[in-house]
Structure 1
Amino acid sequence: MMHPADLPDTLAVFPLPRAILLPRARLPLHIFEPRYLQMFEDALKTPERLIGMVQPCPQPASAHQSVLRQADASCSSAAGGEPLHRIGCAGRVTQFSETEDGRYLVTLAGLSRFRIQGEVAGFCPYRRCDVTWDGFERDLGVGEADTQFDRADFLALLERFFSAQGLSTDWESLQDAEDELLINSLSMLLEFDAEDKQALLEAPCLVTRRETLVTLIEFALRGGAHEDILQ
């Protein structure tokens, strides 16, 4: 288990819209751009093997599309690139394979969220940020439980959502999954607007994340009414 003192002050970041990583979850990545190939190869040379997943901030014209509003959803200033959300999540490279044409298929294991303090200027082809891990100490601990979780009601709602979206899944695996794995995996996998994904990432605890996820699913089942839902 990694300790807060082992976490670096500077982190390579991979800006990817609608892609979030959560602690103790796993995210598959397909890396093919030269700058991110360099980022990945540099990460492998460090003892931590960390890459920071962070979402770019949306264009102002699309900001009203978000279902949820998050108090800490402010963006960091850009240094040669588009602004980034201040909060992301670092993942440790736990598995990778290289294709014949030089691409990488990578698995990141979610470690801890971080807050961007500023971007590092320089000639590096990918973006690097000074980060702080303060406030996310719980991410490095054991998995969270949701004592208020009504699994039967949640799965019934999820089944309606999957049916409406034309999706299929392994319901037996969902039934057996631990609370945190189920809620976090769905938060990462389901298609929501980038700002709503950010709200799921920034949820302070598993209970809040589950409540946020339920709100988003119910909103989608209503057909996506245009009024904002404030959090």
Structure 2
Amino acid sequence: MIQNPDLPEVIPVFPLPGALLLPRARLPLHLFEPRYLQMLDDCLKTPGRLIGMIQPQPQPRSDGTDGAEAADTPSALQRIGCVGRVTQFSETEDGRYMITLAGLSRFRLIEEVEGFTPYRRAKVSWEGFGRDLGPTETDPEFDRASFLNLLSQFFAAEELQTDWESLKEADDELLINSLSMLLGFDPEDKQALLEAPSLSTRRETLVTLMEFTLRGGSNDEMLQ
């Protein structure tokens, strides 16, 4: 695995609402905008092949509510993101790219870096995220049976399908992080899952979000 000294001070960042990357997880992405094709081209020329995933901060809408702006709007960025290494990429016939990012470590955004690239870059700090570069996390208090029962109710309510045998056999981190990345929670909720300081905290946050959804609560209520 890449080590801390190999994590640079400045990285390219890909602002994408609702997209969550976590350490030791994999995120497939579809790149087609010219600026992000340029970002990938530049990335593949570097030893680390690193791209930072980060969400735009929620911006006021015309109706007075909050919502993350579109990725092509130069909005302010959240303070914490996660960097991934490009491990797979393939080009389609029309010049688009399908890539896979392997999550390495979260980072704290210090400031954006001005430059001549069409994509955004940022100066970041890796301090406080040493656990991300360590071994797979476990969740000692994880009640898998209770969790899967709640998950079954959630999937039924959302009309989702899954391979339950695979879920039962997955280790704690793979199960919790994969669900955190894949389930369709709002960007603010995804950010809370990203910023969870431990796997146990992320599991507790995930449980809260599923229970809240099953109760039919709104995001406005959640924030009060």
Q: Which category describes the TM-score, using the shorter chain as reference length? A: over 0.9
> Structure 2: how far apart are the matches of 1:35 and 1:213?
34
| 1:1-231 aligned within 5 A | 1-60=1-60, 61-63=64-66, 81-225=74-218, 226-228=220-222
Deviations 1:46-87 (A, max 9, x none): 000000000001113434x89xxxxxxxxxxxxx92100010
Deviations 1:1-48 (A, max 9, x none): 221111000000000000010000000000000000000111000000
> Structure 1: how far apart are the matches of 2:48 and 2:157?
42
Q: Once the 2 structures are TM-superposed, how far is the Cα of residue 224 of structure 1 from its aligned partner?
A: 1.5
Query: Number of aligned pairs?
Result: 216
Q: What is the aligned-residue RMSD (CA, Å)?
A: 1.5
> Structure 2: how far apart are the matches of 1:10 and 1:122?
12
> Structure 2: how far apart are the matches of 1:58 and 1:30?
23
> Structure 1: how far apart are the matches of 2:3 and 2:190?
27
Aligned residue type for 1:135? G
Structure 1 gaps of 5+ residues are 67-79
Structure 2 gaps of 5+ residues are none
> Structure 2: how far apart are the matches of 1:39 and 1:142?
30
Output the TM-score relative to the length of structure 2.
Answer: 0.93
Identity value in percent: 69
* 1:131 partner SS: strand
Output the TM-score relative to the length of structure 1.
Answer: 0.90
Deviations 1:145-189 (A, max 9, x none): 000000000000000000000100000000000100000000000
> Structure 1: how far apart are the matches of 2:105 and 2:18?
18
> Structure 2: how far apart are the matches of 1:122 and 1:174?
44
Aligned residue type for 1:50? L
* 1:159 partner SS: helix
> Structure 2: how far apart are the matches of 1:139 and 1:132?
13
Q: Once the 2 structures are TM-superposed, how far is the Cα of residue 229 of structure 1 from its aligned partner?
A: 5.2
> Structure 1: how far apart are the matches of 2:65 and 2:88?
36
Aligned residue type for 2:76? P
* 1:13 partner SS: strand
> Structure 2: how far apart are the matches of 1:122 and 1:28?
27
Deviations 1:81-132 (A, max 9, x none): 2100010000000011111111100000000000110001122100000001
> Structure 2: how far apart are the matches of 1:200 and 1:222?
20
> Structure 1: how far apart are the matches of 2:53 and 2:32?
16
